[in-house]
Structure 1
Amino acid sequence: MNDPSTRPVTGSATTTVAAPIGDVYAAVTDVTRMGEWSPECVECRWVGGAIGPAIGARFEGDNVAAIGPITLKRWTTTCEVVEARQDSAFAFVAEGNTTWRYEFAERDGRTIVTESFSHPPYVGWQKWVYGRLANRRKAMTTGMEATLGRIKHALEN
């Protein structure tokens, strides 16, 4: 059986950056720069002695959800790196719930980067609030598109 209520919530976005794969990987895995690019994550910092991307390294991210100038919610997540393969993939799990993943591929001196997320399906009241009312999946995908666009702009200019 493939019950839709048990399928993870997923989304992805892809862009091509006119920069070497090593530069793109280095920028994305420097989580302290995420506040420059993400429309939701405003700041990140390595914690627990971590200084960079390595499996098991932890960082915190400060996030803000807003509609225009109106802040709806502020929160901090603790994330753990679960994959860090140089110039290939970087992934972390936020609060033990949502997996964020970046995949990198080189093509003709450019870098194709795909950002994706996956988390368990919404249940109970979350199904209505996050799934229908807020359409969180779409908002997260739109956020990834904005993040990748800003990374592209920063590395190409």
Structure 2
Amino acid sequence: MTPAMQLVIDEEQANANTRMTAIRAAVLMTRSMELWRRERLDPQSVLIILSVISITSEKLIRAKLEPKYHALDVYLPLEELQGCNIASIAAASGLNRETVRRRVQGLIDGGSLIRTEAGEIALPPDRVQEPSAIELIQRQLGAIVRFANDALRDGILVAKD
């Protein structure tokens, strides 16, 4: 189903409200990081996990992912994911490669990441399906909605048919 309405940026209002936009974006990022840190992860580990998610999963939003895989509570075979390694995580996160290597090993040891049979780094499929993962996504979505509603009130975002 394609939404009839899209949000677009009102360039004039965006330029007139750059401070408000910057503050709201900072609040959104801070809320997002805080939600992830509640899982008892430090900021660098959060950045690494987010990088792994982005790297391994980005192709899923570009490809025609079967609808049965759209929900997190359905197992997605690891073969469906893009490969991910230390170098790609370092590039995506901006962290030093050695720091990433050490942090990834700690996250693997702690069960937050796995190394696949092919040697790639990924999220453990069973962890993705846990209720806490789904709750985290719902809380993240709530933060995004608050940001969008605030930007609508500021006139920075406008609805377009």
When normalised by structure 1's length, the TM-score is 0.31
Task: Tell me: higher relative CO, structure 1 or 2? Use CA pairs within 8 A at least 6 residues apart.
Answer: 2
| Structure number having the greater strand percentage | 1
| Structure number having the greater helix percentage | 2
When normalised by structure 2's length, the TM-score is 0.31
Computing the radius of gyration from Cα coordinates, the structure with the larger value is 2
